[in-house]
Amino acid sequence: MEEKLMRKLGSGSLDFETYFSDKAKSMKASEIRELLKLVESSDVISLAGGLPAPETFPVEKIKEIAQDVLTHHADKALQYGTTKGFTPLRLTLADWMEKRYGIPTSKVEIMMVAGSQQALDLIGRTFINPGDMVVVEGPTYLAALNAFKYYDPEFISIPMDDSGMMVDLLEEKLRKLNAEGKKIKFVYTVSTFQNPMGVTMSLDRRKRLIELAREYDFLIVEDSPYAELRYSGEPIPPIKHFDDEGRVIYLGTFSKILAPGFRLGWIAAHPHFIRKMEIAKQAVDLCANTLAQLIAWKYVEEGYLDEQIPKIIEFYKPRRDAMLEALEEYMPEGVRWTKPEGGMFIWVTLPEGIDTKLMMEKAVSKGVAYVPGEAFFAHRDVKNTMRLNFTYVPEEKIREGVKRLAEVIEEEMKA
């Protein structure tokens, strides 16, 4: 659409690039967002975007609650709200987090945001000075890298294994930096069912990380959109549960447990940190969507969220199983993948020397799409990986998509 309009308007008399700020000129498009446009055509089986299945959206319940909200609370639901968010929702969420994660309501304040993606930008705006050292997982959520990049940090990428961030390697790095009189600002982790690997940081590593945070005086940003989507294994408390001082800034979202179209997430952190991010948000968007907040408030308060989560799990587990079975059946020797206990993603590692970004065009021509792994690394230095999503397409399409992908990989390995 925009390409057509751009062609129609031509370059015209303006030299558009000259008007952009230096920061705007350095911005890079999100591979995930761009891919969503590319694979809109129906004959491509998209294993790319981390999209919740529309079948899990509680449409009738949302209709019913919206009707009630607009009948009894229209004056609030359609009006500007406070920047921190609708207070009954914030209190309900604090109780919900205490009940589910053992995070005392006395220890945190909640601020509502326009999706946890906005929280990532507010964190960059509030905590990152140019040159600050920010530790991220290698690989990590690429849109977090894009959000933080705008504030010019120095990224330190710590490798991952099947138990999450390799905290012992982080400790080695902290010791070296400390010897040079240097400190890191914060560690960013997707602690449970990580995006893009699907793996979960072990309990021991969570405890060690919070100890290191105290010892080397840094903050932890715990981004947790997937914690509720557990298909097997036992739940592990969030890192925030072990935080006695207020060092952990926890991010939650309704995107995977209600609907991403609400554009509604929350930050749970020490009131001192919330206050500064509230001031930052006042300059960004004044307040989160108030109608969405009142609907979400009723949805949580009246117990519908707790009822819906098991249904979402029941819907996604067979899709995760179907992808793991198909990978086992079709992938050639030498290809490895994670076996996540929850979340939305499986991470595939191909033999060294294969560039999955270059392979993408062939894959799409064969009718399957994935997200090349390069953009999930802060230094874009790993080329032979890819992320697969299993929540969006039905099992039979997952099997067919993995089969097509395996044929592309087999050809690539022979080339």
Ligand X SMILES: Cc1ncc(COP(=O)(O)O)c(CN)c1O
Shortest CB 117 distance to ligand G9A, Å:
8
Cα distances (Å, whole numbers) of residue 390 to 115, 145, 363: 22, 23, 17
Shortest CB 389 distance to ligand G9A, Å:
7
- Cα distance between residue 184 and residue 238, in whole Å: 22
* Nearer residue to ligand X within complex by CB, 50 or 85: 50
Burial 146-182 (b: 16+ CB within 10 A, else e): bbbbebebebbbbebeeebbbbeebbebbeeeeeeee
Helix (H, G, I), strand (E, B) or coil at 1: coil
* Nearer residue to ligand X within complex by CB, 35 or 331: 35
Shortest CB 65 distance to ligand X, Å:
20
Q: Which residues contact ligand X (rule: CB under 6 A)?
A: 50, 115-117, 141, 190, 195, 223, 225, 253, 255, 260, 265
Q: Is 318 in the site for ligand G9A (CB under 6 A)?
A: no
Site for ligand G9A in 238-277 (CB under 6 A): none
* Nearer residue to ligand X within complex by CB, 225 or 401: 225
Query: With the C-alpha atoms ordered 300, 302, 306, 311, is the resulting torsion angle positive or negative?
Result: negative
Beta strand segments in 14-55, E: 45-46
Q: Is 195 in the site for ligand G9A (CB under 6 A)?
A: yes
Q: Is 32 in the site for ligand G9A (CB under 6 A)?
A: yes
**Partner from ligand X, ligand G9A, none binding residue 49, C-beta < 5-8 Å depending on class:** ligand G9A
* Nearer residue to ligand X within complex by CB, 265 or 373: 265
Shortest CB 217 distance to ligand G9A, Å:
31
Contact (Cβ atoms closer than 8 angstroms) between residue 191 and residue 200: yes
- Cα distance between residue 83 and residue 281, in whole Å: 7
Q: Is 38 in the site for ligand G9A (CB under 6 A)?
A: no
- Cα distance between residue 321 and residue 342, in whole Å: 11
> Applying CB under 6 A, which of residues 50, 81, 153, 238 lies at the interface with ligand G9A?
50
Shortest CB 255 distance to ligand X, Å:
3
- Cα distance between residue 218 and residue 186, in whole Å: 5
* Nearer residue to ligand G9A within complex by CB, 49 or 88: 49
* Nearer residue to ligand X within complex by CB, 69 or 143: 143
Contact (Cβ atoms closer than 8 angstroms) between residue 413 and residue 334: yes
- Cα distance between residue 188 and residue 190, in whole Å: 7
Task: Find, among 350, 225, 289, the residue nearest to 78 by Cα.
Answer: 289
> Applying CB under 6 A, which of residues 38, 49, 87, 178 lies at the interface with ligand G9A?
49
* Nearer residue to ligand G9A within complex by CB, 23 or 33: 33
**Where do contacts with ligand G9A occur on this chain (CB under 6 A)?**
32-33, 36, 49-50, 195
